[in-house]
Amino acid sequence: MSDSDTFIDETPDLHKPVNVDSELKKWLVNYVGDKVKPKDDEITVEMVIKVMAEEFPEFLLVIAEENFIRGYRQALEDVEEGERLAREERKAANAWIY
């Protein structure tokens, strides 16, 4: 897979240029620009992520881990809620039959 290939389920925001609206973003965009040297001088979120992964992986790892844990918890809550609704629906259906 090449860098230009896009997964169907990835966010299109990865490929949008970063809007420099703070001092931190200005610094980071300049830093990434110096590293990546894009032909069009536009820095995307994907470029920032790649540079961060190379130079500060523990930062991204913490974010990824937190995101995974939150998603996993939400999935468990969704399953529990689905099971509860299914039980209620079965009870209601059984009460209607008898």
Pair of tokens at residue 44: 């995307």
- The neighbour count for residue 2, using CB atoms within 10 Å, is 4
Instruction: Give, for 83, the enclosing helix (H) or strand (E).
Output: helix 57-97
| Position 9 confidence tier, pLDDT thresholds 50, 70, 90 | confident
Calculate mean pLDDT across residues 59-76: 95
Residue 18 has pLDDT above 60, yes or no: yes
The reported pTM is 0.67
Using a 10 angstrom Cβ sphere, with 0-12 exposed, 13-18 middle and 19 or more buried, the burial of residue 76 is exposed
- Cα gap 50→35, rounded to integer Å: 10
What would the pLDDT profile of 81-91 be if each residue is shown by its tens digit? 999 999 999 98
What would the pLDDT profile of 24-54 be if each residue is shown by its tens digit? 999 999 999 999 999 999 999 999 999 999 9
